[in-house]
Chain A
């Protein structure tokens, strides 16, 4: 079964907050859900499919479905692959719709790690109890930052990638963020400023890392007939791929990500190639995340990511592949420490022609959104979607 053309994204909403001292996580879910429904021109009782992750409060989707008053649900999916989940959910929603399992799917994400003063990247953290790898990793101070930094170190060793090349990714994001009134970091930065910022985990500097923010977002995915009855521009789900990558029984190879598998699956289903993509939302927990995913998705050869991202090649209006035109996780936000939702939302904005005029890609009809969730250096999920303006 192909999902190409079987579903459309008709609602997208990003919460404007970046620090939600006065709101609960559940309330943030409600606000983004309402925002996406308003955007689509639908109402709560149109929703018969609900998608969220373990980041939502409660048992799977149950407590949120209750809080939100979702009484018509006939399809549920709480697949949790970290920050990539919401990209994967778009694919799963399209599959469910294609199979007739639901008509209107709601996907929500919300969280408040900033209000809770969470040390997201630098404190050792387990994903749960009875996790079999924990005794072999947590005592060694495994953090998000060092799990990605080890990939960067190996990439530099194997391919000669430099800190300056990685810095260009942050520079490009900052050029976009300057136009986003909600972005946490709106100041345009230089390569020099990035490489001179404090070292967090060699070779990643503070400005190689994404922000920690509160907020969230929501998406509405629906059938073609319903999408065409609404007043919003038509954004079609054209292809989807998902994968996991892990330590491979101890024969770990840190030079690539699961995008090597999820990307080709999405491109094949969509019937397009990386060269056709006019805008790309690329998960940017760290600069190295972007570089490796670009290689693995096929935007350049393996090992050539450093050259590809340098000299502004990711800046809208300047380079060949405009990316993360909202400022991304590196400058705008990273709600609930999960950036997949905002990756899809900005791709939808670009395809609708609703991105900020300073970063809008002219005549954008084909876009990609890609997420990496979990830890690039241990085990992670990869999800890719390709979207088309009809």
Chain B
């Protein structure tokens, strides 16, 4: 049995002043993650404070864009889609979708790489992953 990932319409992403740099980079095809400069630890999701120290001594840094599936599920809706946490090589686990694949072939631990998928209107793209 094979279940091709659907190309469901994605809602427009709501950009705010704090997360705008992340989404500007996504438009350029670059995946950024948070870095706490107090502790030199990465964090996800991007935000304006360090979730380790609460200071605003943070920046966005470019990630390699590859990782493994930590866990996933396939929503068996009319347009089936896969929701997953992908563990990036940098260590953080990202809430995402696995796309452009047979949804019935996915496995925990599988290697994946980032792809950016358009959302509605002029909104920035969504950060998704596909098997390597």
Contact surface of A with B, Cβ cutoff 8 Å: 122, 124, 130, 132-143, 145-147, 149-154, 157, 198-204, 247, 249-252, 254, 378
Contacts and interface: CB of A to CB of B under 8 A. Distances in A.
B43 A254 contact: no
Given A130-B16, A133-B45, A150-B71, A139 B119 contact: yes
Contacts of B16: 130, 132, 135
Contacts of A138: 11
A153 B71 contact: yes
Contacts of A136: 44-46, 94-95
Contact of A140 (B46, B74, B93, B95): B95
B96 A140 contact: yes
A191 B77 CA distance: 24
B30 interface: no
Contacts of A142: 83, 95
Report the 6 A-B pairs with minimum CB-CB distance, sorted nearest first.
A250-B44, A250-B92, A149-B73, A249-B51, A136-B45, A154-B71
B61 interface: no
Nearest to A137: B95
B31 to A, nearest CB: 12
Given A135-B14, A140-B95, A250-B45, A154 B75 contact: no
29 contacts: A132-B45, A135-B19, A136-B94, A137-B95, A140-B83, A140-B126, A141-B97, A142-B83, A146-B73, A146-B83, A147-B83, A150-B83, A153-B71, A153-B73, A153-B108, A157-B71, A199-B76, A201-B73, A201-B75, A202-B72, A247-B95, A249-B51, A249-B52, A250-B33, A250-B42, A251-B91, A251-B92, A254-B70, A254-B71
B40 to A, nearest CB: 13
Contacts of B14: 134-135
Contacts of A132: 16, 18-19, 45, 47
Contact of A135 (B15, B83, B128): B15
Contacts of B76: 198-202
Contacts of B34: 250
B115 interface: no
A252 B73 contact: no
A246 to B, nearest CB: 9
